[in-house]
Amino acid sequence: MPKKYENLSPFAEWLVKLAEERETTISALAKEAGLSAGTLRYLLVEPHRKPTLETCLRMSAVSGRPVAELLALGGQDADQPIDPYHPDRLKIIKIFDHLPMVGRQALLQVAKAFSLLGETKDDNK
């Protein structure tokens, strides 16, 4: 049985419910999301803490819930649309982070080429 916490924030309540639904622990959820166990645990034991954008992005990838929804649960205001923070975006960032400089430059050139293709399509409408 999971530990009982008091005065949980809406985000922390969601975390506890997610762990219960999956019959797992907060630590296991953190590991699955690529977060430290302490990152999620602090959100439970310190109700005034707010999850970071990275925490919401990673938990979105694990849970399938929209990032904007998790940010709202965490009491975070999104100044910009969060839809671009798709789980695949995290994969691209991870790949980018592991590339040598020449690989990063090549990946950027490919991304720019694809974005130009999109602009050309939009111009032809």
* Contact (CB, 8 A) for 107 and 96: yes
Instruction: Show the tokens assigned to 56.
Output: 């919401």
Question: Largest Cα–Cα distance in the chain?
Answer: 59
Q: Does residue 1 carry a pLDDT above 50?
A: no
pLDDT in tens, 7-60: 899 999 999 999 999 999 999 999 999 999 899 999 999 888 899 888 998 999
Q: What is the pLDDT of residue 125?
A: 47
pLDDT in tens, 63-113: 999 888 899 899 887 665 555 566 777 788 889 889 899 998 999 999 889
Cα–Cα distance measured from residue 6 to residue 96, given in angstroms and rounded to the nearest whole number: 40
Residue scoring higher pLDDT (5 or 102): 102
Fill in the amino acid letter for 72: A
